[in-house]
Structure 1
């Protein structure tokens, strides 16, 4: 029997290397936000007239919101791919998500956008989803520190 030694070029198979990517949670939260936001923007752009009938705001308003959401979703998606993820940019996303959440509630409460009942329910549902994204992103940001 010959004794086998591990050379410098050959990995030691008895050692288990575990690596953790502390940004994984934040990347996932940002990516999910980007997909949902971009998808919402696409629907508002492509289907503005029927969505207007359902939710209440004029089709032109929905197209403007859709364009914003599409660009914003792309920017959030881009941020999710950066190595490292910028904490400052992530804080900006969180701030904008909080503003969107509060703004959505304000629009429903004040009746400023002429929402239908379904539109008001949709706006509150969106506010909840965006608020959850903000909370997940805050949690993800804390994990990378």
Structure 2
């Protein structure tokens, strides 16, 4: 596997391109939720809005990058692997925040962190699997 090669990513609903596009859409949606509803979410979850708002704003350029990778004529493997690694970083950060005591979410907040981390981990796993099964061109 070379990171600099392009891939064909067009086979089926779980194609690399479809997964990257779904990732971009869900990333932008989560960014909108966190950015536009940081205060109400903070009250409900006990996760500080000072964490939620910047996290939400950070997701917009990430979603744009995901969309850029997904919509190229040929998906650049390095870009797709960067998306996978970024997703894994998001999952790690979501788990480390409460474990390290950097935030003390209530039950709803912890559930929020765990559910969204699980969703992102699933996307990362599916994208990695799709990358392993795409043809290099």
Q: TM-score range by the shorter chain?
A: 0.7 to 0.9
TM-score under structure 1 normalisation?
0.80
Deviates more, 1:27-36 or 1:106-115: 106-115
Counterpart for residue 81 of structure 2 = 91
Q: Is the 8 A contact 1:22 1:143 kept in 2?
A: no
Larger Rg over CA atoms: 1
Q: Is the 8 A contact 1:23 1:143 kept in 2?
A: no
- Write the distance in 1 (CA, Å) between the matches of 2:105 and 2:21: 29
Structure 2 unaligned blocks of 5 or more? 1-6
Give the CA RMSD over aligned residues.
Answer: 1.5
Counterpart for residue 63 of structure 1 = 53
Counterpart for residue 38 of structure 1 = 28
Counterpart for residue 105 of structure 1 = 95
- Write the distance in 1 (CA, Å) between the matches of 2:75 and 2:119: 22
- Write the distance in 2 (CA, Å) between the matches of 1:92 and 1:78: 12
- Write the distance in 1 (CA, Å) between the matches of 2:104 and 2:79: 33
**Would you tell me which structure has more strand in proportion to its own residues?**
2
Cα offset for 1:22? 4.4
- Write the distance in 1 (CA, Å) between the matches of 2:102 and 2:84: 24
Q: For 1:121, which of 97, 111, 120 is the aligned residue?
A: 111
TM-score under structure 2 normalisation?
0.84
| Greater relative CO, 1 or 2 (CA 8 Å, sep 6+) | 2
